[in-house]
Chains A and B, each alone.
Chain A
Amino acid sequence: MFDGYTASELVSIFVMQGFAGLILFSVFLLMALGLAIIFGQMGVINMAHGEFMILGAYMTYLTSHVFKGAFPGIYGAYFLVAIVVAALAGAALGWLLEWALIRHLYHRPLDTLLATWGVSMILQQIYRSIFGAREVGVELPDWLMGAFHLSDTIELPVNGVFVFALTAAISTIILFMMFRSRWGLQVRAVVQNRPMAGAAGINGTRVDRMTFALGCGVASIAGAAFTMIGSTGPTAGQLYIVDTFLVVVFGGAQSLFGTIASAFSISQSQSSLEFFMSGSMAKVFTLLTVVGILLLRPQGLFVLKMRK
């Protein structure tokens, strides 16, 4: 498939596609980090995670409208506000969902999977009732348009660089919270030994709810980033859920660093392949490779050997 390209053209293609894949990487990574935290720490499979992402996308869409109507002068700033609005909305809905449903289903991971699928159907229908079945898109603010020119054949889109920087910041904050903050310590304590953590005065119920809300909030930020590569429809989240689960499993569910590496390799291979074949075949090829590797190495890429 590389016939007819010179070596330098190929380099340019891979660099450009690689940067084009950065937004996809960001969406995958933010989605997967949320899923991995929720699954890795609580053993809950959240099939409605895609709908949380879409919630963030709709929030971004709403924020852009509010800005256009009320503050047209500072329209360019809407995206920064939208990120915060999306994160808060996602976290609030996640908090509610954990309280209403998830906490009754701990230790039954397969059942949470089915129940949250039901949640995802309901959310989709709610989105359809409120925003309509048609896809909506947002206008990019001026400062996110255009590209940095690195050479004659290589240019980087500004929005890609911005979203990538945002993702890097959020991932760093999450890793920092998990491994350096008091809250992260509590989460890890609850995971390892719930009764003991309880005896040490940690409120496990509260930690669970916080964790779930955090995972959902991060997914909604992914939704804000998503508005830059696609338009938002009620069922758009479902298209990403399988890929995201694969990202988590492929990375090794216990390893947040593994999640980053796996999100990067999957999004980059998909983005690079898209130049040479149709989008759907690129996806088939990528997912097949991942599933094939998982058949041979089901524990994922990164896993600790543990004493059971």
Chain B
Amino acid sequence: MDILYIVVNILVFLALAPFFEGVVRRVTARVVQSRQGPPLAQPYWDILKLLGKQNLSPGNLAFKIAPVVALASILSVIMFLPLGYRENALSQYADVITLIYLLTLGGVACLLGAISSKNAYALVGSSREMITMIMVEPVLAMTLILGAVKVKSLAIPASVLSVTGAGYGASVIIMLVVYLMALQAFVGRQPFDIAEAEVEILEGPFIEYSGPNLALFKYYMLLKQMFYAALFVIVFIPAIKTGFYGLDVLIQLGFVLLVYVLIAVLGSTHPRLRIDQAQKIYAVLIVASLVAVGLSVYGI
């Protein structure tokens, strides 16, 4: 059974990540921008279309393997996620530090691909991406550590599931707000889509990618987005355990949908910030997340 949970994780994420992206586009169009918007299935078609296009490459190895590494690392992260509140066969082999490492590996793969393309826009984009990674990573780490402090264990299911275990204390509420504010940066949307900023640096790190390679990166971005949305639901929404695994997963996915709607509304009601302005906001978020962990040590 334990293996089944891993398979379900992977399948659910692979199958639904493009759909949720379609929801974001639809909500942005219909609710905020008075447009019809594309069909919900559009992100699937986008990826399919890219898979059938020509793969252009400057010819170095790093450029070619970067998308594969990125996709592999995010899939590995997803395997550890206790979706439906179940531990799986892999849980005992890793802890939250592994999770953070694997997430960072995906980001590093993006940077690697960008830098190896030697494009001026990609370089600007990757330097911005690097700043974003360095400055929002602590928020993610602190969220996981908050749970770890509570159960005094770094094991994935224990620390992830125990944040709200003792109800909503001050530390949890601070962390929840900080996570929500950092969410747009995690998923690379306005006001924090600075690394890709289409009108300045034309999708930055991904500018030289095309065809299947770009499709892999797109899939990576979609999965990453869903991971952060699901992590929010698992960590901050108190467990509604029905006892049936399938139902638990469905309820969680319902909440994920709500998080996506939030992402869409936030993204479409803000302009993009400049990297220097964003840094100041990130700095506040880091301090606030540290305060939350500090408070949790004293059980507040």
- Real binding pair: no
